[in-house]
Amino acid sequence: MNLIRYWRRIDSSLLMTVLGLAVVSLLIIASATHANVPGHPGQFDFVIKQGVFLLLGLVVAGGSLYFDYRKLYRFVPALYVVNAVMLLVVKFAGTSALGAQRWIQIGPFTLQPSEFAKIIMIICLARLLSNNKKGYRTWKSLLPVAGLMALPTLLIFIQPDLGTSLVFGAITFGMLYICGLNMSLVKKAFIAFVAIFPLIWFFVLHSYQKMRILVLFNPSVDPYGSGYHVIQSKISIGSGGFIGQGLFAGTQSQLNFLPENHTDFIFSVIGEELGFVGAIFVLFLYFILLYRALMISRSSGDAFGSLLACGIFSMWLFQIFINVGMTLGIMPVTGIPLPFMSYGGSALLMNLLCVGLLMNIYVRRKKLMFD
């Protein structure tokens, strides 16, 4: 009887929204990979692999509900060490693709530890911030936060993976904001960033990263290189019109003009094949997802749980904004996936773990025991 009462307390709105996004994702991945490319797997392989990770993620997320999230507080040191070890393994024994070394090969599957690093660092940062009752109003108060985030951010940046490094920054800012971050520090940090940007441009950024920034302002500066993705994406979305060209019927996607159409630019396929109506529907689902995450953060009975939910909210908000923005040509191409939508088992599994954690916080907003 208690188990039935327990499952009745889960956030059904959040669960149905995630399932809706997952179903749309499988349909769009099937459509985006419909036209087989020589030397690459067809739609069946992509959909099956994504479906396997979806089922695995749902099982893990459901099972995690029986584990009190507050116990994670004690495991933070171990999680931090495990995270650092995984990222080091990628550096020295990982597999490479598209000029980056970000994956670990496990049989027919590849895992991307930087994706799991997101949720691990949210947990670690939530413990650190929940212990500070004075807020963050001086540079000195931010030193422990900077020290915590420095190692994983550096290990991910050198893969190189600028996109995930930026996600870490968004997570940190979002969680600090609800902890009383002094916004004058943010203004000063922004001014300092602008001042040292020339040094970053010449000595830190890779040539392809520089080109992506230039393409943001003028895609035609490199129409057959870095600007090609953006140009084709805007053509795809524009050609979708109001109701779209229909599933499996998008010309840009089906004729392989649109690169990475099942991963980074999957929203372009949605715009082309489902049109304005389909794109708005997907964005509406994301609105519900973010709203529920924010409400769970507000309703949590303890600071640790509230910060966990806030970190997940900040991560999803940033990734959705950047990914959709880059398909429209108003944000630089960073390789940040669209949550629950882009093809990728590691990202999907991590996001479903986040859903399980949110559900865990929600059902325990009031004391709930299995006795």
Phi and psi of 11, rounded to 5°? -80, 95
What is the reported pTM?
0.91
Element (H, E) at 179: none
Sheet holding 109-111, edge to edge: 95-97, 100-106, 109-111
- 120-143 average pLDDT score: 90
Residue in 122, 51, 52, 108 with CA at minimum distance from that of residue 80: 122
Q: Give the Å distances, CA to CA, from 338 to 261, 286, 299, 322.
A: 12, 10, 27, 9
pLDDT at 103 over 80: no
Token pair in block for residue 11: 């956030």
pLDDT at 213 over 70: yes
| pLDDT tier, 35 (very low <50, low <70, confident <90, very high otherwise) | low
Q: What is the pLDDT of residue 107?
A: 67
Q: What is the pLDDT of residue 316?
A: 97
pLDDT at 44 over 80: no
**What's the chain's average pLDDT?**
86
pLDDT at 334 over 60: yes
Across 96-100, 164-168, 193-197, 248-252, least confident range: 96-100
pLDDT at 39 over 70: no
Q: What is the pLDDT of residue 268?
A: 94
Say how far apart CA 113 and CA 86 lie, in whole Å: 6
Say how far apart CA 119 and CA 127 lie, in whole Å: 13
Q: Which residues contact 235 (CB under 8 A, 6 or more apart)?
A: 252, 257
Of the segments 32-41, 145-154, 159-168, which one has the largest average pLDDT value? 145-154
- 221-241 average pLDDT score: 87
Q: What is the pLDDT of residue 308?
A: 96
Q: What is the pLDDT of residue 361?
A: 93
